[in-house]
Amino acid sequence: MKNSVTGNTQHLVILTGAGVSAESGIATFRDALTGLWENYDAETLASEFGFRADPALVWGWYEWRRNRVLRAQPNPAHYAISQLEKKLPKLTLITQNVDDLHERAGSLKVSHLHGSLNKPRCLTCDESYAFPDEVLPNATSDRESRIDPPRCDLCDGLIRPGVVWFGEQLPANAWKSAEDACRDCDLMLVIGTSGVVRPVADLPYLADKKGASLVQINPIISGLNGVANFNLAGKAGEVLPELYAAAFPNT
């Protein structure tokens, strides 16, 4: 029997997807097919080609998303994960999410494999761009508001969102560390991901191959049901605090 959920875990890897932020009111990619992405295809909103074709449409859409995240709060799943980090000898947190709810719940080191809404950069020279702290994005309730992207201080190029778009490579260092962590861990929790967006969906298979236990938390069947040793069917914000309480009673 492989290592159990509450066993003597030395290195826990947690991989999260959009589902971990669902209870904070941030739509998952699948939910969003009837909302977020409803009127445009992914190529239009989430590729360099789409951005170059209509920068104001794409920047405005990301500002709308960033604004939604700014108004959202971490949920009990994010907090349970940051608590686990304090209890275990080693925890590696890997996320596909572009929001910052893990950080705001207190997680100290978060590897964002798909980038971050808060880290825009110049399309031309790659210089990073800092959003003005005190100002909320202009986009309010309208997810189709057009907003011209800011310009780079160095070269006057367009500032682009800091997310990984279709057709782009994942950040090389973060990806290598994620692979190394999956090869090294004895337990992996996969939370709120459909397990179909590659190459991230390959990570649980890597951990499984190396002998780690795999536990999935998801209310519905995902692409990972076959490989997981345990499928905990439920919402992350309910299951994770229960798991934490079972593993660390009296804390």
CA atoms within 13 A on the CB side of 246: 10
67 binds ligand NAD (CB under 6 A): no
**Distance (Å) of CA 99 to CA 8, 39, 67, 164:** 31, 22, 10, 13
Cα gap 204→183, rounded to integer Å: 10
Q: Is 11 a catalytic residue?
A: no
Query: Considering only residues 154-213, where is the footprint of ligand NAD by CB under 6 A?
Result: 192-194, 197
Nearest to 44 by CA among 59, 64, 34: 59
The pattern of x and - marking residues 121 through 160 that bind ligand NAD according to CB under 6 A reads ----------------------------------------
Q: Do residues 56 and 148 make contact, with C-beta atoms less than 8 angstroms apart?
A: yes
Q: Do residues 99 and 128 make contact, with C-beta atoms less than 8 angstroms apart?
A: no
Residue 7 or 25 with smaller CB distance to ligand NAD: 25
Indicate which single residue of 3, 28, 145, 213 sits in contact with ligand NAD (rule: CB under 6 A).
Answer: 28
Partner whose footprint covers residue 232, from Zn ion, ligand NAD, none (CB < 5 to 8 Å by kind): none
136 binds Zn ion (CB under 5 A): no
Indicate which single residue of 9, 14, 17, 85 sits in contact with ligand NAD (rule: CB under 6 A).
Answer: 17
Cα gap 108→13, rounded to integer Å: 14
Interface contacts to Zn ion, rule CB under 5 A? 122, 124-125, 127, 152, 154-155, 157
As annotated, the active-site residues are 114
